[in-house]
Structure 1
Amino acid sequence: MTTTVDVAGPGAWDSVTFRWLLLGRTVSGLGSAIAPVALALAVLHLGGSATELGLVVAAYALVEVLTTLFSGVIGDRLPRTLLMRGSAALAGLSQAVVAVLLITDQATVTLLAVMGGVNGALAALGGPVSRAVVPQTVSAAALPNAVSALRLSQNTAMVMGFSLAGVLVGFFGPGWAIAVDAATYAVAAVCFTAMRVAGAPVVPHQSLLGDLGAGAREVFRHTWLWVLITQALLYHLVYGGVQGVVGPIVVTREFGDQAWGLALAALMVGFLVGGVITLRYRPRRLLLAGTVFLSLTACFPLVLAIDAPLPVILTGAFLHGLGLEIFNVNWDLAIQQEIPPDKLARVFAFDHVGSFVMRPLGLAITGPVAEALGEHTWLYVTAAAMAGSTLLALLPSGVRNLTRDSAGESTPPVSHPVSTIDESATSR
């Protein structure tokens, strides 16, 4: 497998528009990491039970999944920067309402669940378009660095946000922590308003369901795309329960409560290191390389299954994050390279739903299945499923042979003659 590094031509950082996008997504990512911690503690401060907390979190997740596909359709119809700043502004307003309710002691668990659903819908509205807009902010040669930089900055923001959330709640209360989240959305909206992007393709549209069907057909037109989305379904079905249920039980029982926090920290360090690597590592066959690295994710459940010492468990968590991040960068780049611009938001929406729709089911079944089979047996099954599905994903030639389109090294996708709309004309 050969590797190339682009050293000529303008980089992503040379684009002012990309810098605004990077800043906006980083700041909103910081707030998005603070919010779930603050919300969970807010529910508990209100006397909510574990079941009520689960319902509040589920309201966000369920509405986000249900809304994402349709937000992909909207993201391919309307100017993407308009949707980004609109969703950020409304999310900031929504979180400000939650903050005021908590600070003034007017909040209830039911109200938090309703507002969680609202925020889930707003997150879905802005999510696919914030990924689809990236090729409009940089040159084709700078796209790999842009994808890597965005993911690295957001992962860094998440690490900082998780750490900051506990401090904010501990010193000021959950309401003020949510207020910080609202402020980050407001800053992101300003950043997205400052963006000036090139014209986006405009094609004749069908009905909402018709456009959704066109997005689905685009997904199934590419074997590598639907194969790896299917692999993600299985990954999240089995791994969600490892991180959310079995993993904490096994690790804390053997090594204490702090050990699980260390394991998650090692996971995030793996993400950060993987992001740094992708700034320079440019595999020619990007999905082959990415999927090989994805197989490292099986290391985490495997070391948990074998009762490994804590340093080995931390290493397994690190390798999980490292492999997943290298895959994610190559995956995002493959989609942005191969999918027609007028269908990008819809395809990213299908990717998001395919990645996470099975996670709630996995969380629900993990406890009963692990009790029936035994925790360690289930961890072995999970590791085998993650490694096996990754290896099976390498069988189609489309996954193995898809090559990087960088600096003219491979033939770009066929473009369709379409008109364009200048999104900067909609900016204030």
Structure 2
Amino acid sequence: MSLTTTSVSQRIRRVTTVQPAAPAGRLAPLRHRDFRWLVAGTATSSLGNAITPVALAFGVLDLGGSPTDLGVVVGAFALAEVVTVLLGGVLGDRVSRKIMMEGSAAACTMTQGLVAVLLIGGWATIPTLALIGAVNGCLGALSQPSSAAMTRLTVPAELLGSAVALRGLLQTSTAVVGFSLGGVLVAAVGPGWAIAVDAATFAIAATCFSRLQVPHSRPGTARTSLLADLAEGFREVMRHAWLWLLIGQAMLYHLVYGGAQAVLGPVVVGETFGRSLWGVALSALMAGFVVGGAVCVRWRPRLAVGTLLLSLTAAFPLAMALSDHVAPILLGAFLHGFGLQVFDVAWEVSIQEQVAEDKLARVFSLDMVGSFVARPLGLVLTGPVAEVVGYDRWLVVVGCVMGGSALLALLSRDVRRLERRT
């Protein structure tokens, strides 16, 4: 993979392709060819990625695994993401973001295909699933910062807010289908065939990303070491109080919630109401994302409003802990998704507007690491801790931490006063 900068002629083409005046309307970003290919690829992979958590959870349980074993498998994936995403951020500011995304999707096609073959053939073991999951986490993490930073390169600046909201809306809409489809596939044909569908979606996403015509360069920037580039990104994060503060809040969120969804959710909801209903609950979660994204297409929430609505995420774990009926659990899942999606749109647009383009992938990578660094620990510890204190009690603790940390973040003047740019 070349580390050379893009030619002058390519840079001119990029400027001329994204600078014309934007068409009127909230769907205007879809009139730009590169944005259409971008969201087609990300939405397709989102469909498959929503199937896999449902399939993998029951695949591990079918192998005789415990909630602790499931936590180890998904924790291996999460740990690999944390370790690799920083490298992905540095490379995303150095080389073609298109190549990073295309190559990652193609490689994930093979790894997920291998998992599917092992499960279908009856050769899978829990250690094998954990190992392949770690490899898959590394491959996916290499492209995540580039994918997040790509949106700004596909539309004019005045359409950025709408583009971020539309991209999130399309991704979560397909995920709604994916979660429901995951439950149906697991019940009908088994976890292996469900993961095979995910492998196919990665192949389609790689094809979509290959059609992008958005070059990337850092003209006039001297090459430095990877560590120096990373340190520059860290200084950029620390320069914005709202940025590092909410990254810290995200650490608490993922420390407790990752295990609540990936480990306890399938057990608590699956054993009480049936496996297929866990897929429905995740679909309700994603439906909240869809509604939140649709609202944000027409509404430009400030970061403070998004942070306030982020406290609604407490509703899902609290409902799982306190309710013996389906309706409150589905409502809690919906509110969780709605609040998180509104926050995500306000958060991503704030980063896109406040951070320079040549540091954008690194800032996104540090955001991802800060957000997910505690998740592997939470995934591994959730099973043992919940077995000691009780599943329901631990879910109550999870809800209080998630809602309370979001509200505490609003005490910061930098969070409350950050404004959207016109």
TM-score range, shorter chain: 0.7 to 0.9
1:281 alignment partner, one of 279, 299, 319: 299
- Aligned counterparts of 2:137 and 2:405: Cα–Cα separation in 1: 30
Which deviates more from structure 2 when the two are superposed, residues 132-141 or residues 315-324? Answer: 315-324
- Aligned counterparts of 1:372 and 1:307: Cα–Cα separation in 2: 21
SS of residue in 2 equivalent to 1:404 = coil
Which deviates more from structure 2 when the two are superposed, residues 335-344 or residues 196-205? Answer: 196-205
Closer/same/farther in 2, CA of residues 364 and 10 from structure 1, 3 Å limit:
closer
1:126 aligns with 2:126: no
Shift of 1:336: 0.9
> 1:321-370 CA deviation, whole Å, 9 max, x = no partner?
11111001111111111111111111111111222221232344445555
Shift of 1:201: 3.2
1:342 alignment partner, one of 338, 358, 365: 358
Structure 2 match to 1:86: 103
- Aligned counterparts of 1:294 and 1:375: Cα–Cα separation in 2: 23
Shift of 1:268: 2.2
Structure 1 match to 2:79: 62
Structure 2 match to 1:189: 206
**Matched ranges for 1:135-154 at <5 A:** 135-154=152-171
- Aligned counterparts of 1:238 and 1:244: Cα–Cα separation in 2: 11
- Aligned counterparts of 1:363 and 1:330: Cα–Cα separation in 2: 27
Closer/same/farther in 2, CA of residues 142 and 265 from structure 1, 3 Å limit:
same
1:316 alignment partner, one of 311, 328, 332: 332
- Aligned counterparts of 2:214 and 2:36: Cα–Cα separation in 1: 12
Shift of 1:186: 1.7
SS of residue in 1 equivalent to 2:89 = helix
Which deviates more from structure 2 when the two are superposed, residues 350-359 or residues 255-264? Answer: 255-264
Structure 2 match to 1:21: 38
Structure 2 match to 1:95: 112
Shift of 1:37: 3.6
- Aligned counterparts of 1:261 and 1:178: Cα–Cα separation in 2: 15
Which deviates more from structure 2 when the two are superposed, residues 123-132 or residues 105-114? Answer: 105-114
Shift of 1:40: 4.4
SS of residue in 2 equivalent to 1:271 = helix
- Aligned counterparts of 1:355 and 1:160: Cα–Cα separation in 2: 26
Shift of 1:235: 1.4
SS of residue in 2 equivalent to 1:300 = helix
Task: Say whether the 8 Å CA contact 1:31–1:180 is kept in structure 2.
Answer: yes
Task: Say whether the 8 Å CA contact 1:302–1:379 is kept in structure 2.
Answer: yes
Task: Say whether the 8 Å CA contact 1:137–1:198 is kept in structure 2.
Answer: no
SS of residue in 2 equivalent to 1:133 = helix
Structure 2 match to 1:420: none
Unaligned runs of 5+ in 2: 1-22
Task: Say whether the 8 Å CA contact 1:231–1:389 is kept in structure 2.
Answer: yes
Name the count of aligned residue pairs.
398
- Aligned counterparts of 2:125 and 2:394: Cα–Cα separation in 1: 38
Structure 2 match to 1:417: none
Closer/same/farther in 2, CA of residues 109 and 391 from structure 1, 3 Å limit:
closer
> 1:364-383 CA deviation, whole Å, 9 max, x = no partner?
44455556656565445433
**Matched ranges for 1:11-410 at <5 A:** 11-43=28-60, 47=63, 49-50=65-66, 52-102=69-119, 107-169=124-186, 171-197=188-214, 199-202=216-219, 203-244=221-262, 262-283=280-301, 286-303=302-319, 307=323, 310-367=326-383, 369-370=385-386, 378-406=394-422
Shift of 1:205: 3.4
Unaligned runs of 5+ in 1: 1-5, 407-428
SS of residue in 1 equivalent to 2:218 = strand
Which deviates more from structure 2 when the two are superposed, residues 212-221 or residues 161-170? Answer: 161-170
Task: Say whether the 8 Å CA contact 1:9–1:141 is kept in structure 2.
Answer: no
Two-structure CA RMSD over aligned residues (Å)? 3.0
- Aligned counterparts of 1:62 and 1:96: Cα–Cα separation in 2: 21
Identity, % of aligned positions: 54
| Partner AA of 2:170 in structure 1 | S
With the length of structure 2 as denominator, give the TM-score of the two structures: 0.83
- Aligned counterparts of 2:237 and 2:222: Cα–Cα separation in 1: 19
Task: Say whether the 8 Å CA contact 2:71–2:380 is kept in structure 1.
Answer: no
- Aligned counterparts of 1:197 and 1:276: Cα–Cα separation in 2: 27
Closer/same/farther in 2, CA of residues 380 and 28 from structure 1, 3 Å limit:
closer
SS of residue in 2 equivalent to 1:282 = coil
Shift of 1:225: 0.4
